[in-house]
Structure 1
Amino acid sequence: MAQRTCRASIIVILTLLQGFLSCDAVEIQPSMNPAVVGSTVTLSLSPSVTLASGNWAVEETFILTWLGEQQAVFPGYSGRASVSVTSGALTLSALTVSDSGLYQVQSGDPLLKASVYLNVVEPISNVTLRVSRSDMIEHQATGLINCSVSTGSSLSFRWMNGSSEVTATDRVQFTDGNSSLNIVSVSRFDSGPFRCEVFNPISNGTSDSVNFTVSYGPDNMRLTVNGLNTTAFPAGSNLSMLCLAESNPPAQLQWGFRGNLVNATGTMLELFHVRAEQSGPYSCLAFNNRTNLYSNVTTHITISRSQQLQSNVFLLPLLLLTGFFSGNCDYFSL
């Protein structure tokens, strides 16, 4: 009698072990994963098995249970959840983002337990940017851009400045899950155009571009004469002095000569038929009325005497020596 009991117990244990081992080999295969909001998904068992009873749950919430041909759907899933009473496949319709989670099926006939994570994702629409402040002075302000969507879930963000991807640095920071771009101490190179690209497993979207207006300068001033590197010219030349300054908004330019302002403004100062006495330092002064900053550049121009005058000065001693300079001449014109 004891021997028969032992044999029966072994059979029961082997049957239970066979059930547990078989459940390890069973997987849940969603008809789509990730699934789209509003769609219908079916969670099937693979390999296919015949289940006489069981239940489905997501996380700690029961969805439904069945026994033979009878099934009961729990509140919250009525009208959109059903099960195949033979295969145990769960069909769930009108999906929402909140339906994402770990789905589990359990059965006692045969003994089975399996799970899968289902991700329900909402498509992205209407990616927009909002700039907290668009008009700033270089190195005196922080720029902040927020990226948002009208619809979408499981979002990933990428920021672009023109054709280059924006990466984090000491000055560039990403916050709120990378949906916000924060630029500390903006520079003239941070003006943009910026755009935000948003992704999720089923869709993507891109915002329109925005720009910062960054006021800077004047600085990096340059002064050229007749477009040449030289600053020495013969008398009688016409000179065109060009003054350039990096500035936003464009700087107001004023010209000076030997430390005194002259009646000339703008990027160009023109002198015609210059004389030797016009040699000296010429300055271009720049002012930005937005940054309230000044800058200047100076170049020293040398005007040589005319060749005719130089020849006369050189020939004068020779003329005196040769007697060409006669006493009958009342004057000698250079």
Structure 2
Amino acid sequence: MEPPSAPARRGRVPWQGLLLAVSLLTFWSPLTTAQLALEFMPSNAAEWEDVLFLAHNLPEDLAGYAWFKGGRVDSKRQIASYKIDTGVNNPGPAYSGRETIYPNGSLLFQKVTLEDTGYYTLQAIKTNFHNEEVTGQLRVYPELPEPNVTSNTSDPVEHKGPVVFTCEPEIQDATYLWLINSQSVQNSTRLELSKDNRTLTLLNVTRNDTGPYECDIRNPVSASLSDPFYLNVLYGPEAPTISPSDTHYRSGANLNLSCHAASNPPAQYSWLINGRPKQSTQEVTIPNITPNDSGSYTCVVHNSVTRLNGTAVRTITVSAPCGRGSFTEGKKQTCSRASCFFCH
């Protein structure tokens, strides 16, 4: 599933453009008996954006208009009034200096803030004082910041406890979405989302769960995506392997054994030869070996973080060199890749 496409960042609507809408509506006001109505442009406003409250279906015989903050006509919360015969705006107690009433009753509200969210009421004042009123709701949303992902650990141990991711910051009226490897996240047997989707819990973490993990937040006016977050999953060591696989060597050859185990962080290596510590390296090398070098070679691996260990054992047989006349007649030689020389 592809990640949900983010809405484009909204450009500011210049107040001159809103004035053009007002002018067109002023010169085109068809007679109608429909009910007085409000339209907000835009319907969902970003903070510091200009919003036009458009009045539709105005009644006839108008003397003026009055705008109020709130869901009813209240002289104490009047923003401004407008008299048609004089064309004068009269500010009221709730006037902030950012509001302008136009001849068609529409209100231009410049640079709205989150505190401006709420209900607004238009009163159409008629010459016969049979006034009409209509109320609408303005919704103002913040431009969202870039979120960031935090977790209870960034270095989890494989199969040890859950990893809990949180999308910061917490923002009201915002929707949270999660992406793993650029794919949308849903609840599953290993993934749990909180009720508000702000927290993602990864159960039974494995070495394949490194990520990236991203958080997307959005509201009706903007969207923002976090930087990718990666896990450093600690695991191992797995059962080590010793190479090459040869077990028989001739005297005088060079013995080179290498040990490897999958581990994060990389494993620490050490060797035991016939139970005695030899060296703490990934490889062991013995030049010009003799039968005295025969025996068990044990590779010991250790992960200093997971505190787990592993071992592998290789039994090495070194044949003695054959002197002249030392082959037993009629005996079949036993060959290995390293040597066909066996004395009888």
Q: TM-score, normalised by structure 1?
A: 0.65
Q: For this pair of structures, how many residues does the alignment match?
A: 291
Tell me if the contact between 2:249 and 2:316 (Cα under 8 Å) persists in the aligned partners.
no
Matches of residues 118-133 of structure 1 in structure 2 within 5 Å? 118-133=138-153
Distance 2:142 2:183 in 1: 28
Q: In 2 relative to 1, CA 94–238 (structure 1 residues): closer, same or farther, beyond 3 Å?
A: same
Q: In 2 relative to 1, CA 168–279 (structure 1 residues): closer, same or farther, beyond 3 Å?
A: farther
Distance 1:51 1:169 in 2: 64
Aligned pair partner of 2:53 in 36, 43, 48? 43
Amino acid at match of 2:166: N
Aligned pair partner of 1:269 in 284, 295, 302? 284
- Provide the residue aligned with 1:222 in structure 2: 241
Shift of 1:136: 4.1
2:112 matched to 1:95? Answer: yes
Distance 1:57 1:189 in 2: 59
2:265 matched to 1:249? Answer: yes
* 1:119 aligned counterpart, secondary structure: strand
- Structure number with greater Rg is 1
Shift of 1:125: 2.9
Tell me if the contact between 2:71 and 2:120 (Cα under 8 Å) persists in the aligned partners.
no
Tell me if the contact between 1:235 and 1:273 (Cα under 8 Å) persists in the aligned partners.
no
Q: In 2 relative to 1, CA 186–50 (structure 1 residues): closer, same or farther, beyond 3 Å?
A: farther
Q: In 2 relative to 1, CA 299–60 (structure 1 residues): closer, same or farther, beyond 3 Å?
A: farther
Matches of residues 309-328 of structure 1 in structure 2 within 5 Å? 312-315=326-329
Distance 1:27 1:244 in 2: 77
Aligned pair partner of 1:138 in 155, 158, 163? 158
Q: In 2 relative to 1, CA 263–280 (structure 1 residues): closer, same or farther, beyond 3 Å?
A: closer
- Provide the residue aligned with 1:81 in structure 2: 99
Alignment gaps of 5+ in structure 1: 1-17, 318-332
2:75 matched to 1:60? Answer: no
**Identity across the alignment (%):** 22
Matches of residues 193-208 of structure 1 in structure 2 within 5 Å? 193-208=212-227
Amino acid at match of 2:71: E
Q: In 2 relative to 1, CA 82–248 (structure 1 residues): closer, same or farther, beyond 3 Å?
A: same
Alignment gaps of 5+ in structure 2: 1-31, 332-342
Shift of 1:210: 4.1
* 1:125 aligned counterpart, secondary structure: coil
Higher share in helix: 1
Shift of 1:41: 0.8
Tell me if the contact between 1:49 and 1:87 (Cα under 8 Å) persists in the aligned partners.
no
Shift of 1:64: 4.8
Matches of residues 128-167 of structure 1 in structure 2 within 5 Å? 128-149=148-169, 154-161=173-180, 163-167=182-186
- Provide the residue aligned with 2:11 in structure 1: none
Q: In 2 relative to 1, CA 299–103 (structure 1 residues): closer, same or farther, beyond 3 Å?
A: farther
Shift of 1:284: 1.7
- Provide the residue aligned with 2:191 in structure 1: 172
Shift of 1:37: 0.8
* 1:219 aligned counterpart, secondary structure: coil
Distance 1:76 1:284 in 2: 82
Distance 2:329 2:46 in 1: 100
Shift of 1:182: 3.3
Distance 1:256 1:49 in 2: 100
Q: In 2 relative to 1, CA 220–232 (structure 1 residues): closer, same or farther, beyond 3 Å?
A: closer
* 2:235 aligned counterpart, secondary structure: strand
Amino acid at match of 2:304: N
Shift of 1:73: 6.0
Tell me if the contact between 1:153 and 1:200 (Cα under 8 Å) persists in the aligned partners.
no
Tell me if the contact between 2:147 and 2:167 (Cα under 8 Å) persists in the aligned partners.
yes
Tell me if the contact between 2:163 and 2:203 (Cα under 8 Å) persists in the aligned partners.
yes
